[in-house]
């Protein structure tokens, strides 16, 4: 053979070897996806169109019926990238319980432009270090010290805005209340009007970006209008928090504040660790965003279910009276409201505020009949997991007794995961429970709720969080003193 031909042969062999080495796991993931069932995919686009707003109903329907239609594991395609959709508790345990097996995937990287590099989006050593340093600030004793703020703001907002009338948009009032609570407990700010703050004005453009694959290339995205919008939103939020941070640092130096909000505690880290100011801003912005719609959806949906199930609403009301909370509520009384907590859990089972989270496998993972290769993208369908009939019999029924002390042991430890599970479980879950119980008990103590006619089901839409299309409307009547 001529030297030229030898050269070409060697070039082709090395090229094949390089391609195989770099794409081996991709090809293995494709091989697995081809063996698994899943919704019909369009060539090149895959199933990505399901994330279009007008396809929301199909996406949600697919989540509800996934286990019926596709068994214990399902595949989807994001363009040409295979995605494994996981919802069986044993599979969830393997993937979520160990950070050596999975990590956050590219979805979170593309959230950076908007929310920065806080706990939700960061990975590896940075995440581990920050989580370890921040975790103590979510100790129950510190969270309970926020209770007075939760209560005072709930009473003020609900007292001013809730009147006995029909067709009240409860979701808007609840969201105002949560926004004020977050400003007070995270940033130490007494927010008078929503318009004073840039939070709640921003929009996460993640789903819109996913639908335009060329925008997934950073070089192109950085030159797009969407990137400018996200960067502007991010700057507004960071400048707002930076101004508050500077004020609080001055007050802390003059000993005029005494560790009253989470930001004050984060400021301590500036002195005691190598946390930078940028890191503090990223974390504070993350908490403000992570704690808004998630709690808003859960509270408003729970009020909706209580309105729909009068007998359950009366049991919650009776519990409030029985623990002695008919006067000013205390944290001890709140801790005794176990039935209310069951109602909140049952709400989050049916409507998990964050129905999907995603990961990428960092090692081969054994999922029963199949081995999912390293590098596979995983979509964890919390929504589907919560409707598996072998874990939750009659899954469509609202039944808070599933979470009673007698029935709780029957639920698989990875069967119920509205806050996700494992090392990356929501850091704010205890904060959220105290806040949700305070707001809901404040409403039920004073008002009787019922659903307006023809509004007996929630029409959900998915935009990273679940929310009810057009908001949640309720008929509200003051209770007799
Ligand atoms: C009902 C309310 C809430 C729900 C349903 C919820 C749900 C979740 C879920 C599912 C995750 C995992 C996300 C993922 O892996 O991609 C998460 C993470 C997180 N949540 Fe929440 N959340 C709630 C309230 C809050 C609140 C009130 C805060 C803060 C004040 C908060 C802060 C965070 C943070 C910082 C993370 C990232 C944790 C980490 O990766 O270390 N969340 N949340």
How many angstroms separate the alpha carbon of residue 286 from the centre of ligand 1?
10
Question: 40 - beta bridge partners?
Answer: none
Answer yes or no: is the C-beta of 344 below 6 A from any ligand 1 atom. no
Q: What is the pLDDT of residues 180-205, one digit of tens each?
A: 999 999 999 999 988 889 998 777 77
Residue nearest to atom 20 of ligand 1 (CA): 426
pLDDT score for 259: 58
Residue 291 beta carbon below 6 angstroms from any ligand 1 atom: yes
259: alpha, beta or left? (left if phi > 0; alpha if psi -120 to 50): left
d(CA 326, CA 441): 10
**pLDDT tens digit sequence for 125-175:** 999 999 999 999 999 999 999 999 999 999 999 988 888 788 899 999 999
Backbone angles phi, psi at 254, to 5 degrees: -85, 10
Q: Which of 290, 344, 353, 420 for a ligand 1 pocket mutation test, highest count of atoms within 8 Å of Cβ?
A: 290
Please tell me if the CB atom of residue 418 comes closer than 6 angstroms to any atom of ligand 1: yes
CB 330 within 8 A of CB 323: no
Between the alpha carbon of residue 244 and those of residues 282, 292, 473, the distances in Å are 14, 19, 35
Alpha-carbon distance of 263 to 185, in angstroms, equals: 8
**Residues of the chain below pLDDT 50:** none
State the distance from the centre of ligand 1 to the C-alpha of 353, rounded, in angstroms.
10
Kindly give the distance from the C-alpha atom of residue 465 to the centroid of ligand 1, in angstroms, as a whole number.
11
Ligand 1: residue whose CA is nearest its atom 17: 426
Burial (CB count <10 Å: 0-12, 13-18, 19+), residue 108: buried
Residues near 372 by beta carbon (within 8 Å), at least 6 away in sequence:
29, 32, 84, 361, 364, 365, 378
The Cα-based distances of 457 to 97, 112, 315, 397 in angstroms read: 35, 35, 21, 12
Ligand 1 atom at shortest distance from the alpha carbon of 358 = 16
**Alpha helices, DSSP H, located in 97-224:** 106-109, 112-115, 124-134, 140-144, 147-161, 170-182, 206-210, 218-221
The distance from CA 151 to its chain's CA centroid, rounded to whole angstroms, is 24
**Is the CB of residue 359 below 6 angstroms from any atom belonging to ligand 1?**
no
Q: What is the pLDDT of residue 257?
A: 67
Q: CA distances (Å), 23 to each of 18, 80, 106, 197, 376, in order?
A: 8, 13, 17, 47, 11
**Among the listed residues 336, 326, 343, the one whose alpha carbon sits nearest the alpha carbon of residue 479:** 326
Q: For Cα atoms 89, 93, 99, give the angle at the middle one, nearest 5 degrees.
A: 150
Q: Is 120 in the pocket of ligand 1 (CB under 6 A)?
A: yes
What separation in Å is there between the alpha carbon of 290 and the centre of ligand 1?
6
Kindly state if the Cβ of 386 falls inside 6 Å of ligand 1.
no
* The dihedral formed by the CA atoms of 431, 433, 434 and 439, expressed in degrees to the nearest 10: 120
Q: CA-to-CA distance for 413 and 5, rounded, in angstroms?
A: 62
**263 closest CA partner among 185, 197, 190, 199:** 185
Does residue 62's CB lie within 6 angstroms of at least one atom of ligand 1? Answer: no
Distance CA 392, CA 346 (A): 11
**Total residues found in the chain within this entry:** 481
Which pair of tokens denotes residue 172? 């808007």
Q: Whose CA is nearest to atom 9 of ligand 1?
A: 419
CB distance 466 to 455 below 8 Å: no
Going from the Cα of 102 to the center of ligand 1, the distance in angstroms, rounded, reads: 18
Q: Which of these, 79, 82, 72, 100, lies nearest to 25 by C-alpha position?
A: 82
Tell me the CA–centroid distance for residue 221 and ligand 1, in Å.
27
Task: Find the 356 Cα to ligand 1 centroid distance in Å.
Answer: 12
SS3 content of the chain, % helix, strand, coil (to 5): 55, 10, 35
Report phi then psi at 218, rounded to 5. -55, -40
> Does 180 contact ligand 1 (Cβ within 6 A)?
no
Q: What's the CA-to-centroid distance between 201 and ligand 1, angstroms?
A: 20
| Domains, the chain, with CATH or none | 26-478 (1.10.630.10)
């Amino acid at each position: 053979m001529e030297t030229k031909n030898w050269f070409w042969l060697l070039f082709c062999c090395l090229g094949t070897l390089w391609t195989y080495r770099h794409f081996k796991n991709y090809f293995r993931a494709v091989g697995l996806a081809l063996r698994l069932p899943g919704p019909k995919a369009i060539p090149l686009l895959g199933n990505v169109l399901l994330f279009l707003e007008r396809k929301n109903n199909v996406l949600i329907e697919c989540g509800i019926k996934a286990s019926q239609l596709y068994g214990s594991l399902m595949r989807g395609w994001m363009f040409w990238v295979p995605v494994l959709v996981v919802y069986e508790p044993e599979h969830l345990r393997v993937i979520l319980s160990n950070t050596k097996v999975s990590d956050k995937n590219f979805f979170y990287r593309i959230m950076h432009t908007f929310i920065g590099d806080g706990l939700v989006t960061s990975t590896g050593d940075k995440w581990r270090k920050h989580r370890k340093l921040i975790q103590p600030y979510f100790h129950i004793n510190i969270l309970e010290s926020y209770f007075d703020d939760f209560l005072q703001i709930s009473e003020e907002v609900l007292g001013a805005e809730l009147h006995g009338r029909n067709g009240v948009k409860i979701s808007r009032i609840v969201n105002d209340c949560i926004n004020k609570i977050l400003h007070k407990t995270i940033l130490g700010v007494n927010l008078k009007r929503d318009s004073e703050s840039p939070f709640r004005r921003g929009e996460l453009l993640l789903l819109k970006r996913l639908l335009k694959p060329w925008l997934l290339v950073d070089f192109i995205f950085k030159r797009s209008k969407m990137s400018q919008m996200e960067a502007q939103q991010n700057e507004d939020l960071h400048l707002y928090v930076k101004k508050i941070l500077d004020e609080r640092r001055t007050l802390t130096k003059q000993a005029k504040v005494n560790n009253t909000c989470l930001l004050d505690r984060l400021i301590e880290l500036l002195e005691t660790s190598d946390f930078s100011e940028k890191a503090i801003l990223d974390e504070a912005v993350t908490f403000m965003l992570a704690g808004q719609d998630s709690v808003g959806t859960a509270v408003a949906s729970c009020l909706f279910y209580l309105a729909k199930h009068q007998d359950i609403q009366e049991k919650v009301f009776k519990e409030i009276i029985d623990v002695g909370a008919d006067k000013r509520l205390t944290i001890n009384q709140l801790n005794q409201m176990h039935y209310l907590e069951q109602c909140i859990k049952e709400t989050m089972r049916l409507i998990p505020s964050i129905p999907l989270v995603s990961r990428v496998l960092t090692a081969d993972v054994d999922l029963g009949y199949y081995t999912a290769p390293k590098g596979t993208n995983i979509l964890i369908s919390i929504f589907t997991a919560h409707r598996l009939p072998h874990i939750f019999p009659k899954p469509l029924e609202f039944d808070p007794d599933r979470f009673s002390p007698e029935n709780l042991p029957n639920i698989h430890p990875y069967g119920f995961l509205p806050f996700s599970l494992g090392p990356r479980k929501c850091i704010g879950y205890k904060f959220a429970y105290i806040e949700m119980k305070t707001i809901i008990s404040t409403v039920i103590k004073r008002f009787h709720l019922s659903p307006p006619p023809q509004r007996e089901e929630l029409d959900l839409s998915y935009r990273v969080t679940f929310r009810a299309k057009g908001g949640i409307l309720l008929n509200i009547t003051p209770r007799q003193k």
